[in-house]
Chain A
Amino acid sequence: MIALNINGEERNVDVPEDMPLLWVLRDVIGLTGTKFGCGIAQCGACTVQLDGRPVRSCVLPVASVGARKVTTIEAIGATPAGKKIQDAWLDLEVIQCGYCQSGQIMSASALLDRNPDPSDRDIDAAMSGNICRCGTYTRIRAAIKQAAKA
C-alpha cells in the first residue's frame, strides 16, 4: 500500500511502486482530469502540483511522491491562484479542444502562486513545457497577465 495525499484527502493505493502518478490518478483513483499526452514529460498534459510545484505526473513514480501534497485540476480552483487562472481562462476564451488545458492551468497556477506579476520571460520559462496542439498560446499568455491583475 502506498499512502498519498490527493486534493487534501488521504488515499492508500495498492499499485506497483514504479507506476507513474498519472495512471494512479486516472486508472486507480478515477481522477481523469489529469491527461495522458506523451508519457515522456515532453507535452505537460499530465501536469499536477506537488506541494504547489508543477510536475509531470507521467514520469513520476508513485512511490517517490512521499508526503508531498498532490493537487490536481479537480481541486486547483480551491486555491486563490487557481481560481484566478480558471476565471481568466474562461473570460478570455482561451480553450479550444481543452485536452492540454488541465496541464496548462496547473502550470499557470503554480507560476502565479509564487510570482504574482510574471513577466513575458517568466511566462516563457513556466509555460513552454506545456504543448497546445490547438495553438492557444497567445491567449494563455494574455490570461496569465489578466489573472495577475485580478
Chain B
Amino acid sequence: MSKPSSSPKTATSRRAFLQGGGLLLGFALFGAGIKPVLAASTAQPVDGDVTAAFAPDAFIRIGTDGLITLILPNIEMGQGTHTGEATLIAEELEVSLDQVKAVDAPPNDKLYATAALGGQATGGSTSMRATWEPLRKAGATARMMLVAAAAAEWSVPVSECVARLGVVSHQPTGRQLAYGALADAAARQPVPAEVKLKDQKDFQLIGKSSRRLDTPGKVNGAVKYGIDIRVPDMKVATVAACPVLGGKLGDVDDKAARAIPGVRDVVRLDNAVAVIGDHFWAAKKGLEALDITWVEGANANLASANIMAALKAASERKKPIMARQEGDVDGRMKAAATKVEATYELPFLAHAPMEPINCVVHVRPDECEIWVGTQVPAIAQGLAAKVTGFPLEKVILHNQLIGGGFGRRLVAESVAQAVAIAKQVSYPVKIIWTREEDIQHDLYRPAYYDRIAAGLGADGLPTVWVDHVAGGSVLGNYIPGGWPEDKLDDDAVEGAAKPPYDLPVIQVDWVREDPPVPITWWRGVGPTHNVFVVESFMDELAHAAGKDPVEYRRALTRNQPRAAGVLELVAEKSGWGTPLAAGMGRGISLHDAFGSYMAAVLEISVSPAGEITLHRAIVAVDCGITINPNTVEAQIEGGLIFGLSAALYSGITFTDGRVDQSNFHDYRILRNNEAPKIEIHHVKSSESPGGIGETATVSAAPALANAIFAATGKRLRTLPFNRDALKTDGTDKKSVSMIPPLAAPLAAALASAKPADTELEKL
C-alpha cells in the first residue's frame, strides 16, 4: 500500500478543544506517508441514522429491498467528495456507483471525525486522505460478511463464492444471491477480524473517471441547497450586524419597518438586528427601513494601513517563534557572496461562496431543529445547544448540500446567530444574509507581512534561506483563551517551513500579530499564503543568479524526486524556453502541499495599459493514486481560477472599522472571458492519495507573479497585483478592477427594459 514519501517531512499535529459545545477541533499538518484516519470503526448504528437490516458500521446500510445507502463522513460542496468516498466503499463492497445512494452523515464527532481535523469537519483537503483506508476497509468488511452469509446459506466454502455488482455467486454451481436477499443473514455474521484490501492492479473503480453522483439534479433545479429549504409556516429573515467590526447594537426604531406589508417581526441581538417577513423581499425592505444606532466600539477608527503597519512593526521588533532552524544561518548569511532580501504583503480575503450564508431554524419549547449546509456539523450542533440551552440530543441538525464552502463554512458562527434569532419567535425561520452582509461580516483569511532573505553562493544557488512570516493565528480562533503565546501555529508557516528544495541551511519563523479582525481558513490555507512568497522569491533568486527559473529549481530539487517529477513534466508540456511574442511572459510555480506535488506554468501578456491577459495554464500534478481523474482535473481547473481571482482582484480593506467592499462589483471574481485555457498532466504514482481541492489555488499567485516579471521585468510583491504599476503607455487611466454596482433605479430600468436590451447587463 502506501509507501513512505521520499520527502523528508515529519508530521506535526496539534489539537485543541473548541469551547462552543466542548467539541474538539484541531488541525494537523500531514507529512506525506502519514495517514490521517477516520475515528469511526464501530458497528453501532447512530440515532437518526438510516436504518437497514445490514448495518455493519457507521457508513454502510443494506436493506432487504436491496437498497444500498452509503453514509458519507464528509460534506459535498462541489469538490466531488461524495463521489470519491462512495468510490472507496464501492470498490471493496463490489457494487457499482449507480447501485448506491450517498447521504450526509448526521452530526457525530465520535463516528465521523476526521482525526486530522480533530472533529467532524470537511476541510484542509483531508477528506480523501482521511478516508482512503477506513472506507475501503468498511466496504471490504461488509462484502466479507455478505459472502460469508451466502456461503452459509449454500453450505459451501467461502472460497468458492465471489461478490460482484451487488450479487454473491457460487462459482461451481452458478447460484446467485443479491445483497438485499443476504442483508438479514449478513447482519448475523461475525465481523471479520482481518480484512485484506485489493491490490492496486485489481481496482475496478479507483482510478476511473466515474460520473459524479451529485450533478444530475444540479442541471434542472431539482437539488436543494440549504437556502432552498422550505418548511411549513416558515418565515424569512435577513440580518444586519454592526458595520464596525466588534461593535454592538444600540437603539432601533422599527416603526417604519413594521408598517411594510409582509414584515412580521424585528429581532434584536447583542450585535445585530434581524427583520422577519413573509418572504425575503419583505425582510430586506424592512431591514432597510430600520433606523439603527450602532455602538461602534473599539474598532471605530480601524484602517487597513494601521493593520499592515502593526504587522510590519511586529515583524521587525517582536521575538519570533521558530518553526525550523537548521545549520549555521547567521554565519552563512555573513559569508554569502550575494544577499537577496524582499518583503511581501498579502491582504485579508473573503470567501464569497456563491450560496450566501443561510440557515433554517425552528426552536420549539423543548428542541431545536436546524437545516444548514456546514463543513462542521458537530460544531454547529454544539453552538446551537449552547444558544438554546438544550442538551445536544435535542438539537437536530440536517446537513445540506453546500453551494460553495472554501473555508467559510468551517465556522458556524452564523448558525449560532440564526438560532439566536429563531429562539425569539415561535415559528420556523430561514435566515439569509445579503451578499453585502456576507462580504462585510465574513471571517477573513488573515493579512500577512513576510520578510524573506537568502545568501547565494558562487554558483548562484542559495547557501542559506531565511523566511520571517508575520500574521495572526487562525487556530487561535478555535481555542478557548486563544493560541498559547509561545507556541507555533503551524498553519502560519505551512508551505514555508518545508519547501520542496534542497535547502540545508534554513530558518523559518513566525511572529504572531493577531489582527482586530475575525479570521479563519480560506481555500489553500497556509500554503496559499506562504507558497506565494517562497515561489516568488525563488524566482527573484534565479534572476539574481542570472539563471533560468526552471533550471534554477532543477538544481535545487536533486533530492526531491516527486517535486522534480512535476517540474520536468510541466517544463516539457509548457514548451518552457521556447520564444513568446513581445509583451508575453511565462511564470512557474512549484510546491508540495496537502500530500500532493504540483508545478504550474502560466502564460500571460501585459498590455501597455497594464491589463493582464491570462492565455494558458499548464499544470503537472503528482497527487499519488488518483481516485477519480476527472474530479482531480476539475479541482485543479477550479482551484487555479479561484487563486487567480484572488491574485488579480481580491483584497478586503477597512476604513473606520468597516469593510470597504460589499458585493461582486468591488470584490471581483474572475469571469468566464478572463479565464485561461488550462491543460493538466498527471505524473503516474502509486503513493497514497494526496489532497487536491486546494492544491492549484496555491499555484496561482506565484505563477502569475513570475509570469508578470517575465513579461514586464517588474516584480510585484503585494497582493492583489496592482496593474497600475505595470503601465507603460504613460496614461494615468486607472486599470479596471471594479465594476460599478447597479444603482437601484438603474437596475429597475434595466430589468424592465425591452427584452433585446436586457440580454446582458452592459456594464
The answer, among A19, A110, A134, for a CB contact under 8 Å with B281, is A19
B216, B262, B669, B759 interface centre (most CB from chain A within 10 Å): B759
Interface residue SS majority, chain A? loop
Q: A128 in the interface, Cβ–Cβ < 8 Å? A: yes
The answer, among A36, A55, A73, A95, for a CB contact under 8 Å with B758, is A55
Residue of B nearest to A52 (CB): B755
A134 and B755 in contact (CB under 8 A), knowing A31-B221, A95-B215? no
Instruction: Determine how close the nearest CB of chain B comes to the CB of A148; give it in whole angstroms.
Output: 16
CA distance A53 to B674 in the complex (A): 24
Q: A127 in the interface, Cβ–Cβ < 8 Å? A: yes
CA distance A59 to B435 in the complex (A): 14
CA distance A137 to B670 in the complex (A): 9
A97 and B663 in contact (CB under 8 A), knowing A38-B435, A77-B220? no
Instruction: Determine how close the nearest CB of chain A comes to the CB of B571; give it in whole angstroms.
Output: 22
Question: Contact: B221 with A102, CB < 8 Å?
Answer: yes
Interface residues on B, range: 35 or more
The answer, among A28, A41, A51, A96, for a CB contact under 8 Å with B638, is A96
Report chain A residues within 8 Å CB of B760: 54, 125-126, 128-129
Question: Contact: A27 with B756, CB < 8 Å?
Answer: no
B77, B638, B670, B678 interface centre (most CB from chain A within 10 Å): B638
Report chain A residues within 8 Å CB of B404: 97, 99, 133-134
CA distance A50 to B221 in the complex (A): 18
Q: B92 in the interface, Cβ–Cβ < 8 Å? A: no
* Contact bitstring B200-232, A, C-beta under 8 A = 1, else 0: 000000000101101110111111110110100
A23 and B280 in contact (CB under 8 A), knowing A35-B354, A129-B761, A136-B637? yes
Question: Contact: B212 with A93, CB < 8 Å?
Answer: yes
* Contact bitstring A89-121, B, C-beta under 8 A = 1, else 0: 110010111111110010000100000000000
Report chain B residues within 8 Å CB of A93: 209, 211-212, 215, 630-631, 634
A28 and B354 in contact (CB under 8 A), knowing A38-B664, A97-B78? no
Report chain B residues within 8 Å CB of A125: 673, 760
Interface residues on A, range: 35 or more
Report chain A residues within 8 Å CB of B673: 124-125, 127-128
A86 and B219 in contact (CB under 8 A), knowing A37-B356, A61-B748? yes
CA distance A85 to B640 in the complex (A): 25
Report chain B residues within 8 Å CB of A53: 755-756, 758-759
CA distance A50 to B281 in the complex (A): 21
Question: Contact: A135 with B639, CB < 8 Å?
Answer: yes
Q: B742 in the interface, Cβ–Cβ < 8 Å? A: yes
The answer, among A73, A98, A110, A138, for a CB contact under 8 Å with B215, is A98
A77, A134, A136 interface centre (most CB from chain B within 10 Å): A134
A27, A37, A51 interface centre (most CB from chain B within 10 Å): A27
Residues of A within 8 A of B (CB): 15-16, 18-20, 23, 26-28, 30-43, 45, 50-51, 53-56, 59-61, 64, 68, 72-74, 76-77, 86, 89-90, 93, 95-102, 105, 110, 123-141
